[in-house]
Every structure is written in structure tokens, then in C-alpha cells.
Structure 1
Amino acid sequence: MTAPVLVCCSHGTDSPDGRAAVSAIVAGARDALGVPVRETYVDVQEPQVDEVIASFAQPAIIVPLLLSPGFHTAVDIGRAARSRPDVVATGTLGPHPLLAELLAERVRDAGLRDGDHVVLAASGSSRPEAAERVGEVRTALGALIPAPLTVGYAYGATPKVAEAVAAARRAGAARVIVASYVLAPGHFANLIAGASADIVTPPLGADRRVIRIVAERYREGLALLAD
């Protein structure tokens, strides 16, 4: 029996580096799982998730290559999953302990030292559940690094990353390190990079832990299909 298709659905980006990073995550998930895989998007790039789901007949598991729930998970991905009884959508990649571990590693690699303040920088959403999930990541990351930690958003929520950086400096931070809680280079990563922090960590990218989470979500989807 053919395994359900893994449909990796990301936001989409005009950035060549961002596209390459997402495709590397998809390729890593294909190698890890050994199942049929399709790459799709909710914005900017083609093909869109509705088109992809309509293009084949096999059962499918949509794994959002997104870090927090929001409009696109509820509307675009949700609509595609409801279009057929043999299609399910899993939760987003975050929050997850492995993402907190990866963020902590990036902050330590940036040279974290006494007097530094860390801003966890997420893309942002107007939906309250997105802020709640980012808050969970903040709590998990805070348990792993010995530094003050606040949250900022690139778009769609407040405080903005630049505001969080400025607030940290007013509070006496010697340096401000921004921990980029975005998946790949692109518009949101550029907004975060322009927030005047002393150090900005790179997007999460195709780290092995990100790929492990995609595989984990797929296996959760198998259980949903079996119900």
C-alpha cells in the first residue's frame, strides 16, 4: 500500500535563498521518511496548496512549514484539508522542544555573555493563538539560556522587533541579540535583520532538528488518517 503523500506547505517567498532553504527542508523530509512528497505554498509562489491537493488521488498529510498557527493555517491549509476526506493537516512545526534547543544553540554560538539581552523575533500574526505559541517557545528558550529574554514581531503583532530591541537597551542591556524565529530567509527575516540589534542569528533553515519535526508531524498525520 502506497504511503500517504507528504504535502509540505510553506508561506512562499521571493527570496532565492529562502526558496532554497525550504526546498532543502522538503528534501530532507523526503529522505527521512521515504514517502511521496509535494512542495506547495499559501502565498507568493506556485503551486498553491488547493491546486496540489486537487492534482492527485492518493491520501495526503499536509504539514505546514510554518512555525505558528495563524490565518494561513486556519484558512488556506484548513480549506485544502477539508476538501477531501482522505486529507488531513497537522499542527505547525512550533512550538517544539527541538526548536527551543536550536534557538538556544544559535544564541550561544553568537557569543552570549553577561549583560546581553535576547529578543525572540517571530514573524507575527494578528491571531491570538500565534502569540500564545510564541510565548511557549519563549518560556522553553528562557529555560535554556542565562539572559533576559523578551519577544518582538516582524509584522502583524506588537511589540515590533525594533521596539523590543530599543526597550532592552533602555533597560540597560550591554548588547541585544535577536534570535530569529523564522524558518527561512525572506521578507520577515529582512525585517528582523533591520531592527538595529547588535547580533541577529540566522533563520532556522534546514537544520536536522527542523527536518525531524516535519517527520514527526507526518507520523502524527498518519494517526489522524487512521481515526
Structure 2
Amino acid sequence: MSPSAASTTRAHDVPAEERFERRLAHTLQAPALVAISHGTSSPTGQAAVASLLAAVRESRPDLQVSGGFVDVQQPDVAATLAAVADAAPAVVVPLLLSAGFHVHVDLVNEVRGTVGRSTALSAALGPDDRLVTVLVRRLREAGLRAGDEVVMAAAGSTDARAVADCLETGRLLADRLGRAVTVGFISAARPSLERAVLMARQRTPGARVVVATYLLAPGYFADSAAHLGDVVSAPLLAVGEAPPPELVQLVVARYRELSAFAPLF
């Protein structure tokens, strides 16, 4: 194959949306991808989220990709947006599994208050089938068996919209597994994770209870869930592993949902 033919083949292998964005980068100012996570005091959790950000950068070297936090860690959202080079437009992608107070209030206010650049806010990561794919993989890695009861452990929120997002993920997981899934919350919402595990034990006496950890990364909440089931799966970002490709694809997909409208910012 000639070099020109090889080049043509590679170009055709790139999805149409990505070809559009790369052309846009040469003609306009492509929006920066600003990934904002919750933040954690756990060094392991910090490293896991940093590895996801690095994988996103590697997957899209044509974009400015930066990361910040809504809580606990620095830089905060305002500082992260201020550091985006050349007053480029920005798409803020919440690295949050559901859309609660942090998305609907904190990040909305930060985006609205941005001065000197056009800024847009994407949807949260979940619910999404790609997250369910990773949840199922983690359950299988943990040794899920046919007779097990499954409880999905979510962080929890006082915001009913975030709770609804988690319940929808539980429904998607149940559909994928072909069995009942009880959703329990580590904080703020009901049923509590402890109560959800008890409900599962009462439903099928003698069965193992397997907890599916619906958390982005290791940290305080993952530690809180770790002893509550007979078997507990790893978070979506597991210690010592490369980020799942589905998570990388999902972050970029949330960016794409808004970056195509960059000329309208």
C-alpha cells in the first residue's frame, strides 16, 4: 500500500464527529475539555482520577484537556477555567456519575460566572450504558455467580435528581444481568446500603450478597462499602489498572455533545 493510500485509510478509520472536531481545531478555536471531578483526600483515588484524565488526553491529543475539582482538592473550577490557554472556549465535563447539587448548582453557577471565555456545561457521566458495561465487568471479576443477590452501592445525594439517576443505573444493570438489583446509598438517600443488603438477604435467605460498587474511584465511600457484602466489586476505576476504555469514550462523548456547537458559543 502506498503512503498516500495508507493515510487515506487511517483518515477513514476516524469517526466523522472526530474528523469534524479536528478540522474545527485548524479553522476555529476548538473548545478545551475541562474535566471536573468531586475531589478526594484518598491518594489512591486521586491517582485513579488522574489516570482517567491522562487517558482522555492520550485519546484526544488535538484538544486542550485539563482537570479540576468541585470539592476537597485544588485547583477549583474557577482556577481551572482561568488556566485554559488563549481564552479558548471550554466545555466543562463533570466526572460525576449522577447529576445532583454539584452539577445543577455549583457547576451551573461556575459556568455562568465565567468571564472572558465562552463556556458550556455537559451532562454528568451517568446514567449511561457504558457505565453499566464496566459495572458488569467488575462484578464478573469479583466472581458473580448465578444464585447471588446483587446490591448496587451508590454514593447518595439529597438531590432527588441524582437519586433518580442512580436508580436508573440500577435498572439498566438489572436488565443487563437479567436479575433483580437492589440500589442502596452510602449517604443521604434511602434505602441505606446497609438496609439494601439486609433486604437482599431477606429476599433470598442463604444466598451470597454481592455489592456492585457504583463509585468512580477508590476513597472514603468505597472503603465504607467494602465490608457490607459477602463480595464487593472494585470501583469503576480500579487500583493498578488502566482506566476502562468505556470511561474514556464516555468523557469524550460528553464533550462532543457540546463541542460541535463551538461556533455558537
Same fold (TM over 0.5): yes
Structure 1 position 106, deviation (Å):
1.7
Task: Out of 109-118 and 11-20, give the one that drifted further.
Answer: 109-118
Structure 1 position 153, deviation (Å):
0.6
- Structure-2 residue corresponding to 1:14: 41
Task: Out of 31-40 and 48-57, give the one that drifted further.
Answer: 48-57
* Alignment equivalent of 1:71, drawn from 83, 101, 108: 101
3-state secondary structure, aligned to 1:47: coil
Q: 1:131 to 1:106 in 2, by over 3 A?
A: same
Distance of 1:16 and 1:95 partners within structure 2 = 27
- Structure-2 residue corresponding to 1:44: 72
Q: 1:69 to 1:224 in 2, by over 3 A?
A: farther
The structure that is helix-richer by fraction is 2
3-state secondary structure, aligned to 1:155: coil
Per-residue CA shift, 1:25-76, capped at 9, x if unaligned? 1111111122111110001000100222233421111000000011111222
Structure 1 position 172, deviation (Å):
2.0
Relative to the length of structure 2, the TM-score reads: 0.81
Distance of 1:216 and 1:23 partners within structure 2 = 19
Per-residue CA shift, 1:188-209, capped at 9, x if unaligned? 1112213x20011111012111
Q: Are positions 1:191 and 2:229 aligned together?
A: no
**2:31–2:262: 8 Å Cα contact kept in structure 1?**
no
Structure 1 position 111, deviation (Å):
2.1
**2:152–2:212: 8 Å Cα contact kept in structure 1?**
yes
| CA RMSD between the two structures | 1.5
Aligned pair count? Answer: 226
Q: What is the identity, as a one-letter code, of the residue corresponding to 2:133? A: E
Distance of 1:92 and 1:155 partners within structure 2 = 19
Structure 1 position 83, deviation (Å):
2.0
**1:63–1:90: 8 Å Cα contact kept in structure 2?**
yes
Q: Return the index of the structure with the highest Cα Rg.
A: 2
Distance of 2:163 and 2:249 partners within structure 1 = 24
Task: Out of 39-48 and 145-154, give the one that drifted further.
Answer: 145-154
- Structure-2 residue corresponding to 1:90: 122
Q: 1:154 to 1:226 in 2, by over 3 A?
A: farther
Q: What is the identity, as a one-letter code, of the residue corresponding to 1:225? A: A
3-state secondary structure, aligned to 1:88: strand
Distance of 2:140 and 2:261 partners within structure 1 = 37
Q: Are positions 1:172 and 2:204 aligned together?
A: yes
> 5+ unaligned residues in a row in structure 2: which ranges?
1-27, 238-242
- Structure-1 residue corresponding to 2:249: 212
Task: Out of 170-179 and 18-27, give the one that drifted further.
Answer: 170-179
Q: 1:155 to 1:226 in 2, by over 3 A?
A: farther
> 5+ unaligned residues in a row in structure 1: which ranges?
none
Per-residue CA shift, 1:71-90, capped at 9, x if unaligned? 11122211121123610010
Relative to the length of structure 1, the TM-score reads: 0.94
3-state secondary structure, aligned to 1:144: helix
- Structure-2 residue corresponding to 1:119: 151
Greater relative contact order structure (CA < 8 Å, 6+ sep): 1
Per-residue CA shift, 1:95-152, capped at 9, x if unaligned? 1111111111222232222321101111111111111111221111111113321100
Determine what percentage of the aligned residue pairs are the same residue: 41
Map of 1:98-137 to 2, 5 A cutoff?
A: 98-137=130-169
Q: What is the identity, as a one-letter code, of the residue corresponding to 1:46? A: Q
**1:116–1:147: 8 Å Cα contact kept in structure 2?**
no
**1:88–1:225: 8 Å Cα contact kept in structure 2?**
no
